Every structure is written in C-alpha cells, then in structure tokens.
Structure 1
Amino acid sequence: MSIQEIADRLVELCKAGDFATAHAELYADDCVSIEPDGAPVKEVKGKEGLAQKGKQFDEMMEVHGFTVSAPIVADEFFSIVLGMDATFKPTGQRSNSSEIAVYEVKDGKIVKEEFFFRPQGSGM
C-alpha cells in the first residue's frame, strides 16, 4: 500500500472505532506510540503496548463522539486531526478535545505515531 492508502485506511478504521483492526493491519510489530508530557502513558512500544494503552484508555474514558479529519501526506509521514467528546470516568468530568496525530510509515507499515495536545490539568 502507498502512504496515501495507509493514511486513508487508518482514517476509515478510526471513524468506525475499529482501532484493533488498524493496529493489526497497518502497524509494524515494533511500532512506537508517543503521547505528550502530562499524559498518563508517555510512550509504548509494539503492538502489545498499543493494546495495553487502548485498554487503559477504555477503562478511563467513556467516549460520546469521535471525529477524524482527512489525512495530509508528505514524504513518509501523514497527519490527521482527532476530536473527541468524552467523560473521564474517575471524575465524571466531560470535555471536548482535539489533537494532531503524526504518523511515520516505513516498508508499508506505521512505525511511529505521535500525538500533540494539552493534557487536562497540565497547567500549560
């Protein structure tokens, strides 16, 4: 698949809420996922790390709505904007947030994803 095809497929799967298929189909076994400072988990490695991060997210958040932009592709990278309406389960606080996600592709697989947003309560 081309980088554009990978980006389009990721957007399709994210819009459907099918993150497990996205990870299985599009990510390299040794991929890296990086969150900003202040996020509960800063970095995970590998598909198992992605699965654990997803499980932690599901335990902490109740998602009411999710949006995904069209991808922007440049060289070996693409970016999307993710929006979310969710409630933080431990506090019951509901909020709307958005973030920019940047993905790096090598040999037909996503090898790195990095998310850019201000974690709530980060004081930034």
Structure 2
Amino acid sequence: MNTQEVANKLVGYCRNMQFENAMNELYSHDIVSIEPKGSPAEEVRGIEAVRQKGEQFEQMVEAMHGVEVSEPLVADNFFSCTMKMDVTFKGAPRSTMEEVCIYQVADGKIVSEQFFFTPMPQG
C-alpha cells in the first residue's frame, strides 16, 4: 500500500472506532508513538507497547459517544488528520477531546505516530 492508501484505511477504521483493526493491519511491529509532555504515555516503542497504551486509554473511558476524523492530508511518506472524540472519562463530565495526528509510513506500514493535544491534568 502507498501512503494515501494507508491513510484512507486508517481514517476509515478510526471513523468506525475499529482501532484494534487499524493496529493489526496498518501498524509496523517497530512503531513509535509519541504524545505531548504530561500525557500518561509520552513515548512508547513497539506494537505491544502501543496496544498496552490503547488498553490503558480504554480503561480510563466510561463511554465513547462518537468520533469524527478529517480527511487525510498526504505528503511524501507522511499524512495527518484531525480527530475529535466525544467521550466521558471515568469520574469526569462528558467532554470533547481534539487532536492533530501525524503519521509516517514505510513499506506500507505506519512506523510512527505523533499526537498533538492538550493533556488532561493527571491525579
């Protein structure tokens, strides 16, 4: 798959909240995932660490009400999109979480992802 094809598939999976399918099909085993300073998992490496990060996020969520994902913007081996989640975290009121997502593709797989958002206060 080329970068545009990977981008289109990822956006489709995310719009349908099929994050596990996206990881299984599109992510490299050596993926690097980076989140803003102050996030629970600022940087993780490897598909198993990314899966664990996803599980930790799911454990924080009381209810996921919906997801909006923009069309991907592709340049060379990179693509970006915005994601907006309508979510209720455990012990918190319903809120909207917005982020800019940037991905790098090599050999038809996502090898890095970086998310830009304002982290929630921890503790």
* TM-score after normalising by structure 1: 0.92
Over the residues paired in the alignment, what is the CA RMSD in angstroms? 1.2
TM-aligned CA deviation for residue 59 of structure 1: 0.4
Q: What amino acid sits opposite 2:100 in the alignment? A: I
What does residue range 1-124 of structure 1 map to in structure 2 within 5 Å?
1-61=1-61, 62-89=63-90, 91-121=91-121
Unaligned runs of 5+ residues in structure 2 are none
Q: Contact between 1:30 and 1:47, CA under 8 Å: does it hold in 2?
A: yes
Q: What amino acid sits opposite 2:51 in the alignment? A: A
- Aligned pair count reads 121
TM-aligned CA deviation for residue 106 of structure 1: 0.9
CA distance in 1, matches of 2:60, 2:121: 15
Q: What amino acid sits opposite 1:81 in the alignment? A: T
* TM-score after normalising by structure 2: 0.93
Q: What amino acid sits opposite 2:24 in the alignment? A: A
TM-aligned CA deviation for residue 97 of structure 1: 1.9
Q: What amino acid sits opposite 1:21 in the alignment? A: N
* Identity rate, percent: 50
